[in-house]
Amino acid sequence: MDTEKKIYVTQPFLPPLEEFIPYLEKIWESKWLTNAGPFHKQLEKKLCEYLGVGHIALFTNGTIALITALQALRITGEVITTPYSFVATSHSLLWNGIKPVFVDIDPLTLNLDPDKIEAAITPHTTAIMPVHCYGHPCGVERIQKIADNYNLKVIYDASHAFAVQDAKGSILRHGDLSVLSFHATKVFNTFEGGAIVCPNARTKVRIDQLKNFGHVGEVTVVAPGINGKMSEFNAALGLLQLKYIDQALARRKEIHVAYREQLKGVKGIRCLNDAGEKIANYAYFTILVKADYPISRDDLYQRLKDNGIHPRRYFYPLISDFPMYRGLPSAHRENLSVATVASQQVLCLPIYPDLDMSVVDEITRFIASQ
C-alpha cells in the first residue's frame, strides 16, 4: 500500500464549487445571514419532503439539538441510554443536569438492548435515549412499548440515521423526538448542522423558540433558551447537498457491498449484520476483529495507519469509561459486558462517495493478508 497517501474513514461530500456560487450571491444580495432566512426555510421544507416527516427544526449542530430536545420535553432526573456512542449523547444529559443511566447493548446490532431497559428503570427515570448506531435502527417498537408502560419519553439520537427507513417509512418518526447531525462526516452534511424531527407544529414552535434564546417576540423571552440557529450559509449548502444525496447513497452502497463480499471469508473478521436494502444509508462500514484473527484490533488499526489508511475505533473507549461518567453505578464494566467487548473489537473502515474502489480492494487484501 502507498504509505504517502492518507485515506480516512469518511470525507465530506462537496458538490461542485461553481454550483454554490449562486447561493452565496443571493445571501450577499439579501444580507440575510441567519435567523430563519429564506434558505433556512427552504431547507426545512425540502428535508421534510425528502425524509417523509412532518416537521423539522434546523440547528447549528447536533449536540445543541440534543440539549434542546431534552429541554423541550422538560426531561429531568434519570435517562436510560447507551454507553456505546459518541460522547455528545451523554454530554447533552449532563448539560441539562440529568443523570445518565447506562445499559448494555445488543451483540448483533450494537444498539441499546431492549431486554436490559426495564431493570434500569427507577422512580427517577423520565426518558430513554437510544442511538441508531451506524444507521442501523433500534428495536423501536419494543422500546416504545416499555416507554408507554412506564410513562417515559423517548428521544432518539439519530445522528447516523439520515434517510434510514423501516417497513412503514422514516425511522425518524419514532419516539417523541429524533435528533439528526449534519456534521461534515455525516451522510448528509451542512459543514456543521443538525435538526430535530418534531411530531407536530406545536412542538416545533417551542423548539424554534428554545433555539433562539427563548424569544417569542422582540421584547419577550419565555424560556432559558440557547443560540442554536443554523446560518443561511449552512442551509444553502444543505439545499445543494440534497440534489446529490441519492447519488451519494448509491455510491456508498456499492462500497459497502464490495467490502462485505471481499471480507466474508476472512477468518476472525465479522462484518456487522446488513441492515437491509430498504432501510440502510451505509453511513459506516463496521467490522469486529475477533479473537481468532491473527493480530489484535489495535495492531490492525496501527498497521493500517502505517500504510496510509486511517480507520476509526468507533466507539472506543466507551462513554462510561470517561472520567465524568465512570463513577456512576451503571458505568461499571460488569454491567456492560457486550459494549465493553465491542469497543475492544470495533473498527470502522473508509466509506464515502469519492472513495476509489481500488482503495477498497487494497484495504480488504491487506486485512486478509495479516
User: What does pLDDT average to in each consecutive run of 10 residues of the chain (370 residues)?
Assistant: 74 88 96 96 98 97 98 98 98 98 97 98 98 96 98 98 94 98 96 97 97 94 96 97 96 96 96 74 97 98 96 98 98 97 98 96 97
Residue type at 88 in one-letter notation: A
Return phi, psi of residue 98, to 5°: -105, 145
Distance CA 8, CA 341 (A): 24
Distance CA 340, CA 334 (A): 9
- pTM score > 0.85 for this model? yes
Closest CA to 71 of 193, 242, 206, 170: 206
245-368 has CATH 3.90.1150.10 classification? yes
Which pLDDT score is estimated for 2? 57
Q: Output DSSP code: residue 273.
A: P
Query: Domain residues of the chain, as ranges?
Result: 17-242, 245-368
Q: What is the CATH number of domain 17-242?
A: 3.40.640.10
